Structure formats: C-alpha cells, structure tokens
Structure 1
Amino acid sequence: MSSTLITVAPTGAETAKADLPQLPTTLEELVETAQACERAGAGLVHVHVRDPERDHAPTLDPVRLRDTVQALREATDLVVQLSTGGSVHDPLESRLTVLDAEPDSCSLTCGTVNFGDDVFLNPHGFMSDLYVQAQEKEVVPEFEIFELGHLAALARLIDAHGLPYGGKVHVDFVTGVPGAMPGTVPALVAGVQMLPPEVTSWSATGIGRAHLPVAAAALAMGGHLRVGMEDNVLFARGRPVQHNAELVSRAAELATTLQRPPMSTAQARELLGVKERRAR
C-alpha cells in the first residue's frame, strides 16, 4: 500500500462540550472541522452528531443526521461515515435508523464490548440486521474491532450474507478502550494476523496515550490511520488538542515520512468502494 487513508473522528459521544469547549459539536463547527481536516490530509470523516439544544448531548435524531450528512457532502469531498454506535446508551432500534440519512459509509461494531464502566451492546442479531440493511441501502460498512473475538464475528457475518456493498471489507481496530483490547503493538499485530481473508484494507487507532505507538505500528504493517478528538484529546503531555486538524496534520507528516503519504478523497472512495452520492 503506497498511500494512507486518514480517517478523522472529530467528536465522539463521550467527551462533554463543557469539559472541552473546542470539541466540534454544532453543525457549523463540524463543517469547519471537516474542511480543515480535508486540507490537512483526511480522506474520511467519522461522525457522531450532538444536539446543541440539549447541552451538546449525543443524538440520533434523524433530521440532524440527514442535515449533517448533506452539509458535509456539500462542503467537502470527504467520505462521510455515520456512527451507528451513537452513545452506548442508545437503543438498538434507534441505531438501525441511522442509514436512513444516506451516508457514504457507516460503522458496524462486530460484537458487544466492555466500554469503561458501561457495556456497548452489539448482539449478533443486531449486527446481522445492520449488515443486511447496509447492503440494501448501498452503504459501505466499516467494521469496528474492539476485541480479537470480533474478527470471528465478522467472518460469521460475511459467511452468512456475502460481501458488503461495494465488494470491499474495511476493518478498523479501536484499541485502548478501558475494558477492551489494549492499545499495544502486540495486540494490534495479533489482530492483523487474525483478519479474515476477505478483508481488503484495515486501519487502527489508539485511545489516549496509545495514539502514537499504534499509529506507527499500523503504518509499518501496511494499515491506515484513524485520529481525532473522539479518541485522543491531548496532543502531548499537558497540551490539549485545540483542533482536530492538528492530529490529522501529525498523522499526515508521519505517513509521509514513512513514504506512505495521505491518499486523496478520490483514492479513499476507490479503496472503500463507496457509492457516488455527491451532486455533480
């Protein structure tokens, strides 16, 4: 792999706006963030939507989801990916409605996982329904792996339903969540060795202090990168991230140093096999 897909996850569902005012939670902030991150080298934006009228709390409101997808699509050429995880407290039936907003891509977490003091519920029936719905709505899933056993669940989904829309299988290792797969190089290596044969590309992120070691290991092994304030709010010890573009720029510099520069948005679309939904 000669170039690198950089995904930016700018917001997430865990950090409160009151604790981190620079977190992009309004639609205007999210659009500005996406534009700056595209200029810095990002090819895909992974979106959690917040409700400014409810203390910037996570929301799966269908109108806000659709408005966000449309605004990002009009303002950037990034692949727009909606989280179907939302908050760990969102009911499964609400999470299944996310694809109605017609994103280019969606996250599909491949199993239930301990998530700090909570449990992120993803039973097989829900995953199967989401997989089939993504096929029917022609949305490309990104398979989120929080535990090594999730790779077996992914293989089971592919065996049951065939390849996802677009014919590509892109996996994202989310490492370092308290209670889940550690953010270490050996854990990432073990996961890569267990990838099902249908996988065509993979990326990785390390939560918090695991951010840089996991990024370096992913690049060295031919993987791609996910960065952003969803996963890491410190740029360095004692220095909070002020803008997601800082994290994208550092990832782009690291990738370029390793002779795997950031891929363009057109290359990202080809890598993932996304449907063309932009107005032309």
Structure 2
Amino acid sequence: MTTPTLITVAPTGAESTKADVPALPVTLAELTATAKECEAVGASVIHVHIRDDEAKPSLDPVRLRDTVVALRESCGLIVQLSSGGSVHDPEEARLAVLDAQPDMASCTMGTVNFGEDVFLNRWEFIVELHTRMRDRGIVPEYEIFDLGQLWSLARLLDKHGLPSGGHVHVDFVMGVPGGMPGTVEALVACKQALTELPAGTTFSATGIGRSSLPVLLGSLAAGGHLRVGMEDTVTYAKGQPVEANSQLVARASGFARLAQRPPLTPGQARELLGIGV
C-alpha cells in the first residue's frame, strides 16, 4: 500500500481551557505559528476553532475572517473551519462560519451525546450547511460520530447532490463519550459501510484521548488518513502532556512513512479533496 497520507491537525478545539492546557494555541499569533510548525512536519490541513480575548470558544465573524486571511498568508495549509463551534452555539452562528470563505468546513452528520452535553445537528440544518458550502465552493469534511451517520450521508448525497469539487471525504470521530468507540473493530465497521457512498470516497480517522494511537495505526493499515491535534488529545503518553501540536503531527508523519504512505503536501491534498476544482 503506497497511497500517501492526508494529515489534518486540529490544534485547539472548544473543550480544553488555556488554564488547564498552557500549550493550547488560542491567540491568532499562536495559531499561525502552530500552522507553520505543523506544515513543516507533514500536515496539509488545519481544522480551526477560534477563541476570544479571554480564550473562550468563539464564532465571531470578524475573528474568523481575520484567522482565515492570516493562515493563508503564513502557511500553505488547507484552511478548514469548524462549523460545530462549541455544543452551545446556535445554528445561525454556525452557518455564518461559511462567510469567512475557508477552503473547507466541517459538516457533522447527526446529533450525538457529547459527554454531559448534546451536540445537536438537525436534518434541516445539515441540508442547509451542505447546500451553502456547495454554492460557495467550500469543500466539506463530513464528520461521522456514529455508524448510522454514514447512512444519513448517503441519504444527503442522494437527495441533494455531491459536494463542491465532487469528491466525498469523511472523518470518523472515535472515542467521544456518547459516540462510537475508538477501536479498530469500530473503524473496520465504518470502512465497510463506505460502500453506501460514491466510489472513491476517502476517510480520515480521529481518536479521542487514549484511543488516538489505536485509531491512528488502524486507519493507516486500512488505507485511511489521519487527524491529530490538541483538540482531540492533550497527552502524548501516560503522564506526559503534549508540548505542541507539531509533536503529534510529527509522530503521525513518522508512522505514515513507516507504513510507506508518506504525508501528502498541501498541493497534493487539494487535488485529492477537489479543492479549487
């Protein structure tokens, strides 16, 4: 197997606090520096959540636009904004994320229990998000938290057409309390279900917390791609906090090379995902 590996870095997220995780990049300067460091060691996509002046999760439209511009000026990574924000953000604010004109945005394919909270994604909202992205030339990454969400995606594409660029790419988010487990068995089940989707569909896999390494290795073995970052795990090894997002990207790149599936460059990733088509 020699298919190169798409590596996405998710550096911040909306769950961890700066007080608890001092290395978390929350300012624009920290985020752009992180992007450059991660690109240098093998990332080709950056999945972005932003924070306000108090380091709290934000969907402020001005900050989002400034972030997209700054990332494009400082690195070559594909800029993927989260349309999820935090679990408390209203639908209107989540849809408005697209006004910042990123290269990509996430599109979560269903409602899921998220720890003690509920991450709500109504069918009508999913359709609106998918349609707006297609109309604006923004490529979606369909986030899959549970197996049935792949059938929801098949229904979406059947009723509302292919995304911008024509290529379907999904990310299996595994190990969230309330979603599917971060196990190789669950990953294999998800891969088998991809037969319901258009030919050529690609997948990445994200392991939350202690499931990060099993999911990473399983995805590489199954021909999938990788997402790593401090949004998903803040521990590099037992008792060892992550020092920087580039540490996680470098480890993923090293495993990809050992599997004879070296990291894609941002340019190669754009071609794979249909960005700019």
Partner amino acid, structure 1, of 2:235: L
Match for residue 19 of structure 2? 18
Alignment of 1:47-62 (within 5 A): 47-51=48-52, 53=53, 55-62=54-61
- For residue 129 of structure 2, what is the aligned residue in structure 1? 130
* 2:186 alignment counterpart: 187
- What residue in structure 2 maps to residue 106 of structure 1? 105
How many Å apart are 1:2 and its aligned residue?
Answer: 1.7
Instruction: For 1:200 and 1:78, locate their aligned partners in 2 and report how far apart those are by CA, in whole Å.
Output: 21
- Structure 1 unaligned regions, length at least 5: none
Matched residue pairs, number?
274
Q: Does 1:82 align with 2:81?
A: yes
Distance (Å, rounded) in 2 between the aligned partners of 1:274 and 1:70: 17
Aligned to 1:145: 144
Partner of 1:226: 227
In 2, the alpha carbon distance for the partners of 1:141 and 1:156 equals 16
Distance in 1 between residues matched to 2:89 and 2:9, nearest whole Å: 23
Query: Residue 166 of structure 1 aligns with which residue?
Result: 165
> Using the alignment, how far apart are the partners of 2:226 and 2:83 within structure 1?
20
3-state SS in 1 of match to 2:15: coil
The alpha-carbon deviation at position 239 of structure 1 amounts to 0.3
Give the secondary structure class of the aligned counterpart of 1:202. Answer: strand
Q: Distance in 1 between matches of 2:3 and 2:189?
A: 23
The residue type paired with residue 61 of structure 1 is D
CA–CA separation in structure 2 for the residues paired with 1:32 and 1:188: 32
- Structure-2 separation of matches of 1:64 and 1:212: 33
Matched-pair identity in %: 62
Distance in 2 separating the partners of 1:227 and 1:80 = 15
**Normalization by structure 2: what TM-score?**
0.98
CA shift for structure 1 position 275: 2.1
Amino acid at match of 1:43: S
Question: Which residue in the other structure is 1:250 paired with?
Answer: 251
Which aligned pairs between 1:193-208 and structure 2 lie closer than 5 A? Answer: 193-195=192-194, 196-198=196-198, 200-208=201-209
Residues 8-55 of structure 1: CA distance to partner in whole angstroms, max 9, x if unpaired?
A: 00000000111111100000000000000000100000000111x2x2
Which secondary structure state, in structure 2, belongs to the residue aligned with residue 97 of structure 1? helix
Q: Secondary structure at the match of 1:254?
A: helix
d(CA) in 1 for partners of 2:220 and 2:266?
Answer: 19
Q: CA deviation at 1:120?
A: 0.1
Alignment of 1:268-279 (within 5 A): 268-275=269-276
Query: For residue 116 of structure 1, what is the aligned residue in structure 2?
Result: 115
Distance between the aligned counterparts of 2:219 and 2:205, measured in 1?
6
Superposed CA deviations along residues 182-241 of structure 1, whole A, max 9, x for unmatched, are 000000110111113315211001101100011001000100000000000000000000
In 2, Cα distance between the equivalents of 1:62 and 1:157? 27
SS at match of 1:17: coil
Identify the residue that residue 3 of structure 2 maps to in structure 1: 2
SS at match of 1:194: helix
Q: CA deviation at 1:118?
A: 0.2
The whole-number CA distance in structure 2 between the counterparts of 1:234 and 1:270 is: 33
Distance 1:153 1:262 in 2: 30
Distance of 1:133 and 1:158 partners within structure 2: 14
More displaced stretch, 81-90 vs 266-275: 266-275
AA aligned to 1:31 is T
Q: TM-score, normalised by structure 1?
A: 0.97
**1:200 & 1:72 partners in 2: Cα distance?**
27
- One-letter identity of the residue aligned with 1:184: T
Letter of the 2:133 partner, please give it.
Answer: A
* Offset at residue 161 of structure 1 (A): 1.0
1:241 is matched with: 242
Residues in 2 aligned to 1:92 and 1:65: alpha-carbon distance in whole angstroms: 16
RMSD: 0.9
> What is the CA distance between 1:144 and its match in structure 2?
0.2
Question: Which one is further off, 192-201 or 172-181?
Answer: 192-201
| Greater than 6 Å deviation, 4+ residue runs | none
Matching residue of 1:71: 70
